[in-house]
Chains A and B, each alone.
Chain A
Amino acid sequence: MTTVKTNSMTPVQAINDGLRTMLHEREEMVVLGEDVGINGGVFRATDGLQESFGEDRVFDTPLSESGIIGTSIGMAMNGMLPVAEIQFFGFVYPAYEQVMTHATRMRYRSMGAFTVPMVIRAPYGAGVRAPEIHSDSMEALFTHMPGIKVVCPSNAYDAKGLLISAIEDPDPVLFLEPLKLYRAYKDEVPEGKYEVEIGKGELLREGEDVTLIAWGAMVPVIKKAAQLAEEKGIGCDVIDLRTLSPIDKDIISESVQKTNRCVIVHEAQTTGGLGNDIISIINDTSFLYLKSPIERVTGADVHVPFWALEEHFLPTPERTMHAIQKVMDF
């Protein structure tokens, strides 16, 4: 048995490692975006890549989100594997049209004659005291969109493995990077290429009483909430969804059918949020197993507040514990 060598890395270092691994692996892959070249990205996600691979492979673009995504679509159609960075997910709006009207439709409307194997990377989420707009979590705009996959890792191992899967995927993938976790902790990350399958969630902790579901920056929140619950004698299944479209239906239904209760946590706004789809999945698969209505702990239907108040917008372990208690007491 061969031992895979691992290194201790933060999620942002793992993303860098994933990009580096794939730039070695696939010569048709390029990394592009604002400040990704000499500056190595404003969060250092692309640090050193231009130095290693040259300006043809890793390049700065004009400040232009629609241009970045539009040209990436064209490149992908003509034999390349572009990995485009949107500097903050809240800046994706000018590029939304390109994703919706071209990236996601090209395969369908050409009956497969043209395909768009590209990745859009974007740091997202609140809790880092960023200025306005920078902190948005608008993943539901994209999970509602047909023809694109959406992934969101919560740790360094998944970040690298999911990124590699996204680059290898023959269709467009939105890769959301939880800003708050970029440097929150380190994991052991294998050297070289490995994949974390798109569409599969992970059961991080097992318990008998309540299923907790989250993704990205909310995963540490539900992990902490599960500890709080345990102190009260409540056992939680903790699920990191990892892929937001398509959602891992099986991991949700298996867990809920065991625990009979569920709390979903996301920092995005409530209405039209992904939590509602998860409730629908439970409704479709596990309705008769439920012992209580499903609870959601989410951002309110307001804009992410200026940072002096953002902690009041974000779900916390305590708010999650409150919801856990509610489903237990029903």
Chain B
Amino acid sequence: MHTSIKNRSAHHQDITEQFPVKQIIDGEGNLVEDTYRNEITVENTRKFYRQMLCMRTFDQKAINLQRQGRIGTYPGFKGQEAAQVGSAMALREDDWMFPTYRDHAASITFGGSYAILSSWKGRVEGNRPPEGRNIVPPSVPIATQLPLATGAAMASKYRQSSQAVIAYFGDGATSEGDFHEGMNFASVFRAPVVFFNQNNRYAISVPVWKQMNSETIAQKALAYGMPGARVDGNDVFAVYHETLKALERARSGDGPTLIEAVTWRYGAHTTADDPTKYRDNEEENKKHILNDPLSRLEAFMKAEGYWDVQWAEDIKKEIKAEIDEAVKEMETMPEPDVNDIYDHMFDSATWPIEEQKKAYMEYLKGGSEK
């Protein structure tokens, strides 16, 4: 079925040349693009490294919690830290974020709160953003958040606000109609939105080359008359600067941008999934470990003299304490309030909800349902 895709045509090569994978720091930690040299200071580098390490530690902790039965099914993101942290760091506080269920690193980095963790314990409170942060509850269906993000951006433009919007989605989402509809509307209305794709090569078991017959995701921007950029999603600086550029473009009234961050997720789709059925995990992970977002930054920092052993030990301890605290907070939350089932459906409850709530509460108290 897919032989034609494997025989890459000249057209595919042209596209790859048109959309090169932009890098600032390569897989071995070498600075390969010096446009932003002045901004890659010891302070900035440490800030990015610390946040990525923090997110990796969080992710591993969440997987452990799931294995211990302390939270439910959890979708990990190990390997995608640079894509999520780099893009989220580029946002302004009043911007809007439309994440998916796998973008915890993005929302934690942007919102500064670990509350989202409790959503994997089945707590609706986990979806409530920190005060003053427009972090929309993660989208569970695929690609449906893209028209929403475009709409929020259209509103921002209509209200002459300088807020920009970022929407996250994976490679599989590009096959959905809503990917097209969101991009097309954004393009037609020049909405200030950044479509941030994390191409982690697999939509559960389906590899990207079975997902689409185009060489890149970035090239899809051509069809919508918007800029498309392909970045090394494991290079936090490339991600950060490309996202910043796209956000500035959005704010200045030049409309949407599509960014494809080429990355790799080491682990399973979720803790309920077994990737050994469809990929040689160890072999493939070995290949990608060379491009790991953390180890390449560590190599760069060491080469630059930015690495400090004591600092590294200190942040590890700080991060552990921070995440332990977040877990403690989740596990010491008061029991969920049954009223929360009923009380957030409408601004004021309709009579069926009121009656159903009353009947259930009476039942709980041991009274009659009627």
Contact = CB atoms under 8 A, between A and B. Distances in A.
B347 A70 contact: no
A67 to B, nearest CB: 3
B144 A102 contact: yes
Contacts of B127: 109-111, 113
B147 A70 contact: yes
Interface string B8-42: 00000000000000000000000000000000000
Contacts of B340: 111
Interface in B137-183: 137, 139-141, 144-156, 158-159, 163, 177-178, 181-182
Nearest to B346: A171
Contacts of A108: 124, 344-345
Nearest to A101: B141
A110 B178 contact: no
B350 A66 contact: no
A147 B352 CA distance: 12
Most buried by A among B129, B134, B147, B178: B147
Interface stretch (A36-44, A76-84, A176-184): A76-84
A37 to B, nearest CB: 13
A78 B96 contact: yes
B136 to A, nearest CB: 6
Interface in A70-101: 70-80, 82, 94, 97-98, 101
B322 interface: no
Contacts of B145: 102
A214 interface: no
A147 B156 contact: no
B80 interface: no
Contacts of B188: 61-62
A258 interface: no
A56 B177 CA distance: 26
Nearest to A114: B136
Contact of A102 (B125, B148, B181, B351): B148
A97 B144 contact: yes
A61 B186 CA distance: 11
A199 interface: yes
B185 interface: yes
B124 A109 contact: yes
Interface range on chain B (Cβ under 8 Å from partner)? 35 or more
A76 B184 CA distance: 19
Chain B binding surface SS class: helix
Interface residues of A, number: 46
Nearest to B159: A79
Contacts of A78: 96, 134, 151-152, 155-156, 159, 163
B128 interface: yes
A272 B238 CA distance: 54
A98 B345 contact: no
Interface string A234-250: 00000000000110010
Contacts of A293: none
A233 interface: no
Nearest to A60: B188
Contacts of B137: 106, 109-110, 114
Contact of B350 (A70, A74, A111, A246): A246
A44 B17 CA distance: 50
B185 A97 contact: no
A66 B147 contact: yes
A30 interface: yes
B140 to A, nearest CB: 7
Contact of B346 (A62, A107, A109): A107
Interface in A1-59: 28, 30, 56
B128 A64 contact: no
Interface string A113-126: 11100000000000
Most buried by B among A56, A61, A245: A61
Contact of A111 (B124, B159, B182, B346): B124
B344 A67 contact: no
A146 interface: yes
B144 A61 contact: no
Interface string A293-313: 000000000000000000000
B128 A73 contact: no
Given A64-B184, A67-B147, A70-B148, A147 B345 contact: yes
B180 to A, nearest CB: 8
A108 B339 CA distance: 12
Interface of A: 28, 30, 56, 61-62, 64, 66-67, 69-80, 82, 94, 97-98, 101-102, 106-115, 146-147, 149, 169-171, 199, 245-246, 249
Given A71-B182, A74-B152, A78-B156, 17 more contacts: A61-B188, A62-B185, A66-B181, A67-B150, A70-B151, A71-B154, A72-B151, A73-B148, A74-B149, A77-B152, A77-B155, A107-B346, A108-B345, A110-B127, A113-B129, A149-B350, A170-B346
30 contacts: A62-B185, A66-B147, A67-B182, A67-B185, A70-B147, A70-B182, A71-B151, A72-B151, A74-B148, A74-B151, A74-B154, A74-B155, A75-B152, A75-B154, A77-B136, A101-B140, A107-B344, A108-B344, A108-B345, A110-B137, A111-B124, A111-B340, A111-B344, A113-B127, A113-B128, A146-B345, A147-B345, A149-B346, A170-B347, A199-B351
